Structures are given as structure tokens and as C-alpha cells.
Copies of this chain bind each other. A is one copy, B any other.
Amino acid sequence: MNPSQYADRLIRKLETLADLSDEEKHALRGLPMTVKAFGADQDIVREGDCPMECCLVLTGMLFRYLVLDDGRRQIMGFYIPGDIPDLQSLHITIMDHSVGTLVPTTVAFIPHQSLNDVNARYPTVANALWRDTIVDAAMFRLSMVGLGRKSAHERIAHLLCELLVRFKAVGLADDERTCAFPITQGELGDALGLTTVHVNRVLRDLKRDGLVTLRGRSLHVDDWERLRELAKFDPTYLHLEGRKATE
């Protein structure tokens, strides 16, 4: 990935959130970005930090999490290229959770100041970013439904559906039914409120029933219709279409 493509990731993402004029795209290309490569299992921002920049995922994968005093961990979401997981830090000073790498990941840091300048000048961009934080919130809400009211089988099936759809939306799926899946069973458990052991048993069921195959670090969905039905997956909450004109 070469430097001129960094902004492309961002633009491609924002175009799923708003129609951008050439001038706006030009302004986005002008944003200063500091690119940094991280190894696996490293924190990008930590609970208690007051970051002065936002991070854009270029390659690899991040996750958002909180660890309680006694070691219990809740993972609140996984982030793929194009995502800006700490966009919220533009408006709230202190991080109430951490963001770390799942695998070796490159990230572009964009100073808050620069983003605020672009936002002040281009309301369409500001609204697209606002919209991104709102879609994030919709994903949290749906996770709440899973954690509070769905069985382990439903939760796991739902996460698999969501990841495939999101990878496809940014053009990074290997094919129509296959995408990267660098998430361990322990991490899956922490994201879904389950233990490693139980995640393992449920995945065994899903494989046995011919719904999915997990090989190496990739996910292949063998029977999308049945997986979708089990998960009751409805991509509405991702708000990938039907966005609203604000002008």
C-alpha cells in the first residue's frame, strides 16, 4: 500500500456514508496522516488516554475492548480497513475503553485539529463522520440484543454474518462467501459474553451442520441462508444504504 492510497481508504469509507464532491475529496486527500505499523496484540489507544488524533485502519484488524478489575474482558467490536474506531475522541476527551490490534496492522493517525478544520469547512464531511459514529452506535445496540436475549448459537452465527457483510461492503472479501477471520475462540467469547470452551462447542455444531468452514485464518460460509436464518441476521442496522440527504 503506497501513501497516495491511504486517503483512498478513508474516501471509500465515507462514500458509503455520503456523496462527496471533488472538492471534498481533495480536502480529504490533503489531510496529514502519520502511518504506523503495529504488531499483533498491541494497544493503539488505552483507557484513560486523551488522544489528539484519530486512527484510520489501513490494513489488518483492530478490536475495541474494556478489561474489568478482576480480568474479565468485554470486546465491543472488531474494525477492518476503512474504519475509524476512535472517531468519538473528536468529541469526548477521555477514552473509556481501549483499542488494540488483533493481527499486525497499519494505522494512519489524523490530528483532531485537521479533522475539525475540514469539518468546519465541509459540512457534508462532518455529517458523514457524524453518521459513522451513529452507525457505530447502531452496531453496539444490536450487540446488546445479542448479549441480552440471544443464545450462544445465535450470537456466534450473527457475528459471522456481520463480518462477512462488512468485508464485502469495503471490497475486501476474498469472494462472495469468504473473508479473513483472524479472531481466536477466546476473543470470540469475550466479544459475545461466552467462554472459550463454549465457543468451541458451538463452532463444532455450526461446522458439523454444514453452515461454515473455518480454515487457517479465514471464514467460509457454506450455507448462507441457514446461517442468516439461525442468526436472524438483518443488515439494516449497518445502514449500508438508504442514507439521508442533509442538505
Instruction: Pick the residue among B74, B92, B119, B123 that contacts A244 (CB under 8 A).
Output: B92
Chain B neighbourhood of A246, CB < 8 A: 90-91, 116
**Given A68-B145, A68-B149, A145-B74, A133–B123 Cβ distance below 8 Å?**
no
Check A224 for interface membership: any CB of B closer than 8 A. no
Copy total for this chain: 2
Check A93 for interface membership: any CB of B closer than 8 A. yes
Chain B neighbourhood of A243, CB < 8 A: 91-93
Of A66, A92, A93, most buried by chain B (CB within 10 Å of CB) is: A92
Instruction: Flag if B94 contacts A147 (CB, 8 Å).
Output: no
Segment among A160-168, A177-185, A231-239 that sits at the interface with chain B: A231-239
* Contacting residues of chain A (181-213) with chain B, CB-CB under 8 angstroms: 190-193
Instruction: Flag if A93 contacts B242 (CB, 8 Å).
Output: yes
Instruction: Flag if A148 contacts B147 (CB, 8 Å).
Output: yes
Check A40 for interface membership: any CB of B closer than 8 A. no
Closest CB of chain B to A164's CB: distance in Å? Answer: 19
Chain B neighbourhood of A141, CB < 8 A: 64, 66, 76, 96-97, 140
Chain B neighbourhood of A142, CB < 8 A: 66, 96
Check A73 for interface membership: any CB of B closer than 8 A. yes
Check A135 for interface membership: any CB of B closer than 8 A. yes
- Complex interface bits, A125-148 against B, C-beta within 8 A gives 1, otherwise 0: 011001101111110111111011
Instruction: Flag if B96 contacts A237 (CB, 8 Å).
Output: yes
Instruction: Flag if B68 contacts A131 (CB, 8 Å).
Output: no
Interface residues of A (CB under 8 A from B): 64, 66, 68-69, 72-74, 76, 88, 90-94, 96-97, 116, 119-120, 123, 126-127, 130-131, 133-138, 140-145, 147-150, 190-193, 232, 236-237, 239, 242-244, 246
Chain B neighbourhood of A140, CB < 8 A: 137, 140-141, 143-144
Nearest opposing residue in chain B for A17, CB measure: B91
Closest CB of chain B to A95's CB: distance in Å? Answer: 9
Chain B neighbourhood of A90, CB < 8 A: 244, 246
Chain B neighbourhood of A120, CB < 8 A: 123
Of A97, A144, A243, most buried by chain B (CB within 10 Å of CB) is: A144
10 closest A-B pairs by CB: A148-B193, A147-B147, A140-B140, A137-B137, A74-B145, A91-B131, A72-B149, A96-B237, A93-B244, A74-B148
Chain B neighbourhood of A147, CB < 8 A: 144, 147-148, 193
